[in-house]
Amino acid sequence: MSDESTTSIRWEKDVAPHDFEAALAYLSLRFDEDRAEKLVKRLQVAEITHRRANDVLRACNREPLGLDDPGVRRDLVTIARGKKLSPVLVVYDEDGGPDIADGYHRVSLAYRLDPFATIPLRIAASDVKREK
């Protein structure tokens, strides 16, 4: 996939360290601490790839947040100031499918500006099945 976006969003080349902490905070609500930590470690070593904003939202079964959402608005102000956004973190869990571990506001902003915008992300998969 191309790493060129048709939006005015400029992206950092790599994920900001605090985004891994945010991903852990979110994932520890969905999974036990050990599983959440393993997923974040996998995200830290995953390579950056590129996907369209609409595809990320569809795959993760998420609706895009509106431009009036405080987090989306904050990111809009960030890009209006000429600053770059951090790539998105996505995890794939065998039992639950893909989910945005960090960057939902950034994906939503990209989608609102151009649904077909290409965004950078890291994807990590869980290889541990949950007890049924």
pTM score:
0.89
CA gap 59, 69 in Å, rounded: 21
Among 40, 46, 39, smallest CA distance to 21 is for 40
Where do the domains of the chain lie? 17-125
Eight-class DSSP state of 114: -
**Tens digits of residue pLDDT in 105-122:** 999 999 999 999 999 999
| H or E element at residue 58 | helix 53-59
Q: Are 32 and 128 in contact (CB under 8 A)?
A: no
**Tens digits of residue pLDDT in 30-70:** 999 999 999 999 999 999 999 999 999 999 999 999 999 99
pLDDT value at residue 8:
77
Tokens of 106: 């950034």
pLDDT value at residue 128:
54
Eight-class DSSP state of 86: P
Matching CATH number, 17-125, of 2.60.40, 3.30.460, 3.90.1530, 3.40.50: 3.90.1530
CA gap 124, 45 in Å, rounded: 9
State CA 4 to chain mean position distance.
Answer: 17
| H or E element at residue 91 | strand 88-93
